[in-house]
Amino acid sequence: MNVRSELPDPDNSSNFNGFGETEVATTLDALKEAVAGETGASGKYSQYAEAAEANGYSQAARLFRCASAAEQVHIKMESALVEKYDSDWERPTAEPVSVPAVDLCLIDAAKGEIFEASDMYPCFIDMAQEEGNEDAVKVFTKAKLAESVHAELYLTIYNNLDAADDDSFWLCPVCGYIEKAPAAPGVCPICGAGAKVFKEF
Ligand code: FE2
Ligand code: FE2
Ligand code: FE2
């Protein structure tokens, strides 16, 4: 993802349309649904990481671990908002999933990320804008932008599964952005965080 002259948001970007499959009644419901989706994704990626490692696909395993941590960043941001509005809410937990072959794990993960980026989060952002909830708009926006980057990385690793390289994955712990590179990025293109914050996988 290229660094732009201003941080991307729904008002200055061309890639915030949604297919319209997702429906939600309130911003609070959207936040709870987002946490549930992110929790499922994070848990699934941990399982996929273990399977990839056990089968000798260590770069794919590193990406799954990094993306699992990225989804935890989204869970943290979104849960903090839910708990502000609903103090009785109980955080969901991840259920075990069945694990297909590693190439299909990568495709399955990419499909989930594309759904979130092109359907779920655009719907949630519209809802939050309608209700004038700027905090929720900001949180959903960071997640939405990170998800399509996750999808791109999953497909990159899928396309190069038998020709892996030594690149690391660098996680921005502020927004969940991930970059595949030999060294940490200078700046996060989603939230503007500096090189020092990135975590290496
Ligand atoms: Fe996420
Ligand atoms: Fe993601
Ligand atoms: Fe970031």
pLDDT tens digits, residue range 5-48? Answer: 999 999 999 999 999 999 999 999 999 999 999 999 999 999 99
CA of 127 to the centre of ligand 2 (A): 20
- For 66-109, the pLDDT digits (tens) are 999 999 999 999 999 999 999 999 999 999 999 999 999 999 99
DSSP symbol at 197? G
CA of 39 to the centre of ligand 1 (A): 9
Cβ contacts of 137 within 8 Å, gap of 6 or more: 10, 125, 128, 129
Split at pLDDT 50, 70, 90, the class of 188 is very high
The answer to whether the Cα torsion of 154, 74, 196, 45 is positive or negative is: negative
Q: What is the Cα–Cα distance from 146 to 190, expressed in whole angstroms?
A: 8
Q: What is the pLDDT of residue 20?
A: 97
Q: To the nearest whole number, what is the mean pLDDT of the chain?
A: 98
Q: What is the pLDDT of residue 81?
A: 98
Cβ contacts of 14 within 8 Å, gap of 6 or more: none
- For 38-59, the pLDDT digits (tens) are 999 999 999 999 999 999 999 9
CA of 14 to the centre of ligand 2 (A): 20
